[in-house]
Amino acid sequence: MSDPVHPPVRLAKQVSELARCSRIEAEQYIKGGWVSVNGRVIEDPAHPVTTQTVTIDPAAQLEAVEPATILLHKPVGYDTISGRKAAAGLVQPETRWAEDPSGVRLLERHFHRLTPLVPLDAEASGLMVLTQDGRVWRRLTEDGDEIEQEFLVEVSGEIGPYGLRKLNHGLHYNGRALPPCKVSWQNEIRLRFALKGVQGGQLRDMCKQVGLEVVAIRRLRIGKVPLAKMPVGAWRYLPVGERF
């Protein structure tokens, strides 16, 4: 029941009066995560308040809230784009990488409407992208085949004659000749692949064609954005201004 003595008002109205600012500015403060009601951050300007204690962080800044792009170190066994075991479910406030260098303030709204991009096989691990930003979506979908991806592939078996040369150029997949790519040995059991327009299952098939069995695949980089030293299952923000 509502209190007839203190009818509920929108949080934005209360903040506007507290900060002596316009309603639009009050909404910016709230959406930016600078406003607490009874000690809990509320990001909804329409949140109803009556006699609760409303506080504005002394460090509050009037700035537009940018849509978030999140970089996740996907573990093996999780689906990127669709499937029963969606990797997106791993993106929670508590799984943020403690050493995230982005400087982006964590907001509850960053976990809404995240679109996963750039497919990665469920049995592979490594860098995965989820975004709210239409600019990032366009870049990674419309220009996706022009963006180089880098993988570390652990293999077993003996590579066939001229195998490394064939991996770089000379193989087919799904009935089509594959364009040249960059493949080199990192050590005795790991190959490093740098290629564009990679398809699901392609790396395993390429290795099989030269006599190698894939043990593990990890995506290290998409364009200019690296996985870095982020632990498996952790995530970080893509800093504002950083491009794929």
Beta-bridge partners for 149? 195, 222
Residue 69 main-chain phi, psi, to 5 deg: -125, 125
Look at residue 226 in the predicted model and tell me its pLDDT: 96
Q: What percent of the chain has pLDDT over 70?
A: 98
What architecture does CATH give domain 69-237? 2-Layer Sandwich (3.30)
Beta strands 48-49 and 54-56, pairing class? unpaired
Listed by start position, the domains of the chain span 9-56, 69-237
- CATH class held by domain 9-56: alpha beta
Alpha-carbon gap, residue 24 to 20, rounded angstroms: 12
Q: Are 81 and 119 in contact (CB under 8 A)?
A: yes
Look at residue 5 in the predicted model and tell me its pLDDT: 67
In this structure, of 13-22, 89-98, 161-170, the range with the lowest mean pLDDT score is 13-22
**pLDDT, tens digit (0-9, with 9 covering 90-100), for 132-150:** 999 999 999 999 999 999 9
More confident site: 43 or 160 = 160
More confident site: 60 or 113 = 113
Q: Are 121 and 201 in contact (CB under 8 A)?
A: yes
Average pLDDT (190-212) is 96
pLDDT band with cut points at 50, 70 and 90 for residue 123: very high
Comparing 9-56 with 69-237, is the CATH topology the same?
no
Alpha-carbon gap, residue 118 to 74, rounded angstroms: 12
pLDDT band with cut points at 50, 70 and 90 for residue 19: confident
Look at residue 3 in the predicted model and tell me its pLDDT: 54
Q: CB-based contacts of 113: which residues, under 8 Å, 6+ apart?
A: 132
Question: Does 45 score more than 50 pLDDT?
Answer: yes
Mean pLDDT over the full length of the chain: 92
More confident site: 6 or 111 = 111
**pLDDT, tens digit (0-9, with 9 covering 90-100), for 59-75:** 888 877 789 999 999 99
Look at residue 28 in the predicted model and tell me its pLDDT: 80
R_g of the chain, CA atoms, integer Å? 24
pLDDT band with cut points at 50, 70 and 90 for residue 4: low
Average pLDDT (98-108) is 92
In this structure, of 1-5, 39-43, 216-220, 234-238, the range with the lowest mean pLDDT score is 1-5
pLDDT band with cut points at 50, 70 and 90 for residue 99: very high
Alpha-carbon gap, residue 123 to 81, rounded angstroms: 13
pLDDT band with cut points at 50, 70 and 90 for residue 1: very low
Q: Are 237 and 100 in contact (CB under 8 A)?
A: yes
* Max avg pLDDT among 1-15, 37-51, 56-70, 187-201: 187-201
